[in-house]
Amino acid sequence: MKRSISKALAIVMALALALSVAAVSAFAVDYTAIPGTSTTFNKNLVVDSTAQIPNVEFEFEIAAGTAVPASSTNLEILAGPVTASAPTVENAVFTSGMTTTNGTPTDDTETSKKFATDEVIVDFSGVEFDKPGVYRYVITEKASTIKGVTNDANATRYLDVFVVADESNALSVQSYALRDTATNISLATGKYAENEDVKSSGYTNELSTVDLEFAKKITGNQGDKNKQFKFTLAITDANPGLYTVEVSRADVLKDDSNVAANEGVYTITVAADGTCTAYFYLADGDTVKVLDLPEGYGYTLTEVPEDYQSAAGVDNDGTDNDYTDATSGSAVDVDVKTGYTNDRNGIIPTGVIVTVAPFAIGLLVFGAIILYVVSKRRRAEY
The answer to whether domain 2-204 and domain 209-343 are alike in fold is yes
Half-sphere exposure of 251 toward its Cβ, with a 13 Å CA cutoff? Answer: 9
Angle at 160 between CA 157 and CA 161, to 5 degrees: 140
3-state secondary structure of 343: strand
Which of the four pLDDT bands, split at 50, 70 and 90, describes residue 17?
very low
Q: Count H helices, E strands: the chain? A: 2, 26
Q: What gap in Å lies between CA 43 and CA 52, rounded to an integer?
A: 17
Question: In which region does residue 97 sit, left (phi positive, over 0), alpha (psi from -120 to 50) or beta (all else)?
Answer: left
Which of the four pLDDT bands, split at 50, 70 and 90, describes residue 231?
very high
Q: What gap in Å lies between CA 187 and CA 71, rounded to an integer?
A: 9
Question: In which region does residue 189 sit, left (phi positive, over 0), alpha (psi from -120 to 50) or beta (all else)?
Answer: alpha
3-state secondary structure of 21: helix
24-33, 202-211, 303-312, range with the lowest pLDDT: 24-33
Whether 9 has a pLDDT exceeding 90, the answer reads no
pLDDT, one tens digit per residue, over 137-151 is 999 999 988 999 999
Q: Is 337:217 a contact under the CB 8 Å cutoff?
A: no
Q: Which is it for strands 171-179 and 156-165: parallel, antiparallel or unpaired?
A: antiparallel
pLDDT, one tens digit per residue, over 159-189 is 999 999 999 999 999 999 999 999 999 988 8
Q: Is 15:132 a contact under the CB 8 Å cutoff?
A: yes
To the question of pTM greater than 0.85 for the whole model, the response is no
- Closest CA relative to residue 51, chosen from 239, 203, 235: 239
Please count the residues of the chain. 382
Q: What gap in Å lies between CA 338 and CA 362, rounded to an integer?
A: 59
3-state secondary structure of 282: strand
Q: What gap in Å lies between CA 49 and CA 108, rounded to an integer?
A: 12
3-state secondary structure of 298: strand
- Closest CA relative to residue 231, chosen from 211, 250, 253: 253
**Between 3.30.379.10, 3.30.479.10, 3.40.1050.10, 2.60.40.3050, what CATH number should domain 2-204 receive?**
2.60.40.3050
Which of the four pLDDT bands, split at 50, 70 and 90, describes residue 196?
confident
pLDDT, one tens digit per residue, over 237-270 is 999 999 999 999 999 999 999 999 998 899 999 9
Percent of the chain with pLDDT over 70: 83
The superfamily (CATH) of domain 209-343 is Collagen-binding surface protein Cna, B-type domain (2.60.40.1140)
Average pLDDT over residues 201-230: 96
Q: Where are the domains of the chain?
A: 2-204, 209-343, 357-382
pLDDT, one tens digit per residue, over 306-322 is 999 999 999 988 767 89
